Amino acid sequence: MSRTLKKKKHWSSKVVECAVSWGNLGDFGSVVEVLGGAELGQFPYLGQMKLDVLVCHVGKLPYYGDVLLEVNGTPVSGLTNRDTLAVIRHFREPIRLKTVKPDPLVLCLPCPLELVGFPCYC
């Protein structure tokens, strides 16, 4: 009668920490695109990166689409994009980033109903 439940890992076990610097090429925003933010109802996440410029001192470099959780121990989840960039600019390099890969099931993809003009209630 009892069923074996598949135990899922908690997302916090997938958090990746790294320390990155980018040399004399301006601010972090000119090397790594920070997208999303509270004004869009999203967590801040990483966009395009100039991988030939970024230097990873500790950990692994984050990937495109990784959700940005903390910058040098300062939580940025729930901040607007502008405020997230202000937090990043506040610190000297190298900066420590905590990121996590988004769950592919949670990503909002266009629903087939929306493509033909109907509202989506997924």
Tens of pLDDT along the chain (122 residues)? 556 666 777 777 889 999 999 887 778 888 899 999 999 888 999 999 888 888 889 998 888 889 999 999 999 999 999 999 999 989 888 899 999 988 765 545 555 555 566 665 55
Say which DSSP state 108 is in: -
In this structure, are residues 19 and 59 in contact, taking their beta carbons and an 8 Å threshold? yes
Q: What contacts 29, CB < 8 A, 6 or more positions away?
A: 85, 88, 89
Model pTM? 0.76
